[in-house]
Structures are given as structure tokens and as C-alpha cells.
Chain A
């Protein structure tokens, strides 16, 4: 996707969002007068800026610059998927097992192959979290099926 097309697309999305906000403000009850005014103000502001962005790029020649969304697809995808699974696992197996598993597996997948240092790093980080958050701040981290 080239930058010109992207900017026009963003401007169009901004206009759609502004319109959606403007029409939704019309459905607010009469008692919410201040809320309605503010949302109308925001949608007007967004519409003006989006129109200006569209005008700026609509008549401009493309500079040929393309957007590179992801530089390294493999590591990006692994990181995103592993992070989502990590958060899903939090409630299931608890914070510490999920974090240890996440750090070890993701570190390994991303190319860190020294098991000893990976283990030391994992234990060091989890130790820090335990001392600061659990002992010092008394944060009740998710304990999962291990129970409270």
C-alpha cells in the first residue's frame, strides 16, 4: 500500500467515524445536552481535519513510498499470538506459571537458545515481580486453578 492511498483511506475512515459520532449524538436523550454538544464538537473537528488530510493528498502525486506494516512477519506474529495466549492463560494457570512459560517459550522461539541464561532471566524477572508487586504492593495476581 502506498502512502498516498493510505492517507486518503485514513481520511475516509476519519470522515466515517465523524459521521457515525454525529448521528449517534442525535440519539442521546434530551437530558444529556452537554454530552451531545461535546460529541458534535468532536465529530466536527475530526471531519474538518479528515477533509483537510484528504484534500492534501487527493491532488498530490504519489511519492512511491510504500508502507511496510510488519518488518519481520514471523517474530511479529509469534509475539502477538504468544502475548494473547499469555493473557488467556493468566486466569487459567495463574500469573507466575503463565509468565514463566511465556518468557521461556517466546524467548526460545525468538532465537535465544541458551537455556541456563533463559532460566536465570525468567527467574530473575519473576522474582522482581514477586518482591515488588506481590510482597511490597500486595497485588492479588491471578492464581488460576491453583486457588488462592
Chain B
């Protein structure tokens, strides 16, 4: 492992890698700072760009976008009271009041330092935990992989903010879409309607770009601007020193973010709210929360960036994306020929460790960029939608076309975008559809192979010890949903 780490560290020293991390982080910050544009969308749009790149360069850029995007959400939260990403919603509680009090620069500095340490803590956890978990994953056979994909689907319960049944149905819709084309065991072609382009299945990337980018573009048609003007004068937002006594809040937030990020489905939004509430509970002055307490900003921001490394633990070791950004990143890994699982830490160890180490660099990049340029990034949010809409559509079109040089993929992307918009409006979860789309091939292969091994007996899914543990975890994830459902029933 040490050899691979050293080799990975030396591969990071190349100028093109450093540039890609810097560019990715800056790009992620800009997109994260624009409400309505998410880190998932940024990663999805970036994958076609990284297609022809060296794996280390491409993955480092995607890691930069993920980290930068997660941090960038705080900028608009603090300056505009409009969270750039849902994960930055808790940041606005105290960040915007601080801006109103003329402490916007301090709030930005606290968010930057908090995000930096949150990211560093979680990347350390990723570096130390992932290889251990990957070793454990070597014991997994087809039944375990099938149940893992069910676990991923069950995690939708925590991913969904609206109706949980609709969240689960969204996941099944993703599985159904993934079943279009050739079956992986018998080679039988299903549900293609005779369209040759669908024989190999629905291309993942056009679907992803359509669901995350085009549907967002259509949401943007509702307003002329995301934000009309900045809540603070950028010139007044000079570098500010952060108040003392935030170290424990930041460390706790980073830890909470990492743990919550590791849990499949539980994302940065949940982590930041848990961390914020916890900080409020243990604070000597809980009444000041929501009125401009820097502890609130530090707690929320360290937790949401803490999720970055955490969410990559199940992705890299088990191939289970913990949230929608990790799902998009999984597409990027697969495009580079890196199938998540134990092999990533053995056969492809150098690239994988380089990717993990690049997250440290990304954190340093947004620390510097955030402290000096955050107010300027925030200005992008004031770009009118009449410019954003065609620009994002053109990038989506070229992005989905570039994967296979196919116009069919562009139509697919457009179809998924329009369909995704209406699904979202009807209360279905697009993140869950994508999760189903990703987990579909894993689930189908595991299901088919398991039943072949057991000569058709489904008992194979209940006999092996790891399977029983996985069933336990699935039930554990679903339990809160049933509890909530009972509570929701009108008396």
C-alpha cells in the first residue's frame, strides 16, 4: 500500500494534474455557488470532458469539482440567502444574518476554514477506511452483491425528501430503465422496440445529463434570474480572520459528515442539519443560533464537506454510490475503466490513491480560492437565466454526444430531461432514478448468478451470514420509513 501511495503522490506532482485540480475546484465552486446548479450536474457535465484524459487527471478534476461544488454552495447561502446546493441550506441560517450584520467576510472565512477541515478529516477517513472495507468486500459473492444493490435502493428512503414510496418507485423505475437492452446472462434483448441503438442498453451518461442538467434547465424557465443582486458589496468582502473557539465545532462537524456520508443514501444535507442541531444543543448560547452565530456556519459547512470523503467510501469499495454526486462520479470512474470494488485498491491502486490524495489538493485549492475570490464567484449567480438556459443546454448536448458520437444519445438526453422534469414535478426523486439506473446491472447480474448457483431457489439470499447482515441493514434503513408512515396517517 505504501508503494502505491508513494507512486500516487508522485503522479499528482505533474503540472497537468495540479491544473486539473485547480480548474475543477474553481469550476465546482462557480457551479456550486449558483442556486439550481448542483455539484451532481457539474460532475455529470464534466465526465465527457474527462473522457479522453489520463485517468489521474480526469479523476482529480472530478474530485476537485465535487469538493469545490460542495463548498461553493455556502457562498450564495451566506451572501444571497439562497443555498447554492441543498447541503448548504443550514449554512444560510447563520451565514446570511452575519452578512446582514456586515460580517459577510467573516462568515465566508468561517465557511471556508470549516469546509477545508471537514474535507481533510473525511479524506483521511477515506484513505484509512476504504482499503479495509475493500478487503472485506472480497468475501462478497453474487447474492451479497444483489443484496448490496437492494441496500442501495433501500437507502433511497433517506435520500428522499418527499413521499418515501414514490422515492422507492423512482428507484424501481431506474432499475426498469436499466433492464432495457441485452440481458447480461442469457444475452436476450428486451424492451428495445426494435431500436438498434438500445440493444446495448440505455447509455448511462445521456440519461444522467438529461435527468440532472436538462430537467434543471427547464426548472430555470420559471424565473428570469436566479438572484437579482448580491446581498453584500463584493468590495467590502475582504479577507477576514475567523473568530476563536470554533475548532471543536469544526472537528465534530467533520466527523459527523464523514460518518453520515459513509451511510448509503444519507447525504450532505442530512449531515449538515445533524451537525448544526448538535452544535446548537451543546452550545453555551443556543439562543444566538439563527441570528448570526459563526458556530452554526462552521458546524454546517464542516459537515457537508465532511460528506465528500465519507460518501466515496462505499462507492470505491462496494460500488454503492452514497449520494447523487457519488453516483455521477461512479459514471466517471467506469468511463475510465475503473469498476468500483476491491480491485481498485490492488490492480488500480495507484490511480485510486492518486484520486484520494487529489482530494487533499482540492481542499487546499478551495481554501485559497475561497478566502480570496469567493465574493467574485457569487456574482455568477446574477447571470440572467436567458443566458444560462441555452449555455447549459449546449454543453449538455455536446456532452452527451461526445460519449459515443451519437445523435441518438442527444435525443435520449433530451427525452430524459423532459421526462425527468415532469417526474420531479410529480414528486418523484431523480436521484433515486439515477441510483436505480446505476444499481440495475449489478442487481440483475447478482440476482441471475445467485439463482443459477442455487438452481432457482431464492433461499440463497437468506442462508449466507453476510446476506443476513445485509438484510438486517436493509430493514434498519427501511424502519424509519414505516415509523414515519404510521405517524403520517391521519387519525
A111 close to B391 (CB less than 8 A):
no
Query: Could you tell me the distance in whole angstroms from the C-beta of A108 to the nearest C-beta in chain B?
Result: 8
A10-B402 Cα distance, complex, nearest whole Å: 35
Residue among A7, A34, A53, A103 making CB contact with B394, cutoff 8 Å: A103
Residue B401 is within 8 A (CB to CB) of chain A in the complex: yes
Q: Which of B204-230 contact A (CB under 8 A)?
A: 214, 217-218, 221-224
Q: Which residue of B lies closest to A137 (CB)?
A: B52
| Chain B residue contacts of A84, Cβ below 8 A | 414
Pick from B169, B389, B394, B402: contact of A99, CB under 8 Å: B394
Interface residues of A in 87-122 (CB under 8 A from B): 87, 90-91, 95, 99, 102-103, 106-108, 110-112, 118, 121
Closest to B166 in A: A53
Is A80 in contact with B49, judged by CB distance below 8 angstroms? no
Closest to B396 in A: A83
> Using a Cβ cutoff of 8 Å, how many contacts connect chains A and B?
177
Q: Quick check: B165 and A56 within 8 Å, CB to CB?
A: yes
Contact B188 A31 (CB under 8 A): yes
Q: Could you write out 6 A-B pairs with CB less than 8 Å apart?
A: A69-B425, A70-B221, A80-B418, A99-B397, A106-B390, A139-B402
Q: Is the interface of A mostly helix, strand, loop or mixed?
A: helix
B386 touches A110 (CB 8 A): yes
* Beta-carbon contact of A79 and B218 below 8 Å: yes
The interface size of chain B toward A, counting residues with CB under 8 Å, comes to 59
A16 within 8 A of B: no
Question: Per-residue CB proximity of B382-395 to A under 8 Å, as 1/0?
Answer: 00111101110111
Contact between chains at B414 and A10 (CB < 8 Å): no
Q: In the complex the two chains form, is A67's CB within 8 Å of B425's CB?
A: yes
User: A residues within 8 A CB of B96?
Assistant: none
Binds A, one of B62-70, B122-130, B171-179, B249-257: B171-179
Question: Does B452 sit within 8 A of A, measured CB to CB?
Answer: yes
> Is the C-beta of A136 less than 8 angstroms from some C-beta in chain B?
yes
Interface of B is mostly: helix
Listed residue (B179, B224, B390) with the most chain A CB atoms within 10 angstroms of its CB: B390
B6 within 8 A of A: no
Checking B175, B186, B190, B221 against A76 with a beta-carbon cut-off of 8 angstroms, the contacting residue is: B221
A32 on the B face (CB < 8 A): yes
- Report the Cα distance A125→B387, complex, angstroms: 11
Binds A, one of B281-289, B342-350, B370-378, B405-413: B405-413
Residues of A within 8 A of B179 (CB): 38-39, 42
The answer to whether A137 and B402 touch (CB under 8 A), given A14-B169, A111-B384, A121-B391, is yes
Are A75 and B393 in contact, CB atoms less than 8 angstroms apart?
A: no
Q: Which residue of A is nearest B448, CB measured? A: A34
Q: Which of B169, B217, B387 contacts A50 (CB 8 A)?
A: B169
User: Is B387 within 8 A of A32, CB to CB?
Assistant: no
Instruction: Name B270-298 residues within 8 Å CB distance of A.
Output: none
Q: Which residues from chain B contact A133 at a C-beta distance below 8 Å?
A: 48-49, 398, 402
On whether the beta carbons of A91 and B407 are closer than 8 Å, the reply is yes
Contact pick for A69, options B52, B186, B422, B452, CB 8 Å: B422
Determine whether the beta carbon of A49 is less than 8 Å from that of B448: no
Structural contact, B398 and A141, CB atoms closer than 8 A:
yes
Most buried by B among A29, A70, A136: A70
CB-based nearest A residue for B219 = A71
Report whether A87 and B387 are in contact in the complex, using a CB–CB cutoff of 8 Å: no
B490 interfacial by beta-carbon distance below 8 Å = yes
A138–B391 Cα distance when bound, in Å, is 21
Contact A87/B398 with A49-B165, A56-B165 known, Cβ cut-off 8 Å: no
Q: Which 6 A-B pairs have the closest CB atoms?
A: A110-B386, A71-B222, A32-B188, A34-B448, A35-B183, A112-B386
A83 touches B183 (CB 8 A): no
- Once the chains bind, are A52 and B165 in contact (CB under 8 Å)? yes
Contacts of B398 in A (CB 8 A): 95, 99, 129, 133, 139, 141
Asked if B51 lies at the interface with its beta carbon under 8 angstroms from chain A, I say yes
Which residues of B have CB within 8 Å of A24? 190-191
Partner of B387, one of A76, A107, A138: A107
Within 8 A of B (CB), among A1-44: 3, 6-7, 10, 14, 17, 21, 24, 28-29, 31-35, 37-39, 41-42
Tell me, yes or no, whether A58 is within 8 Å of chain B by CB. Answer: no
Chain B residues whose C-beta falls within 8 Å of the C-beta of A35 in the assembled complex: 183, 185-186, 188, 190, 448
Neighbour of A83 across the interface among B52, B175, B414, B452, CB < 8 A: B414
A61–B488 alpha-carbon span in the complex (Å): 12
Residues of B within 8 A of A121 (CB): 387, 391
Residues of A within 8 A of B395 (CB): 125, 129
Residue of B nearest to A69 (CB): B425
Told that A71-B223, A110-B385, A129-B395 touch, could you supply 7 new A-B pairs with CB distance under 8 A? A35-B183, A46-B169, A67-B426, A111-B386, A125-B391, A137-B48, A138-B52
Q: Is B94 an interface residue (CB 8 A)?
A: no
In the bound assembly, the distance between CA atoms of A110 and B418 in angstroms comes to: 18
B241 within 8 A of A: no
On chain A, the residues within 8 Å of B9 by CB distance are none
Distance of B186 from chain A, by nearest CB (Å):
4
Docked CA distance A125–B456 (Å): 55
> Which residues on the A side are within 8 Å of B416 (C-beta)?
none
Residues A102 and B426 in contact in the complex (CB < 8 Å), given A35-B186, A35-B190: no
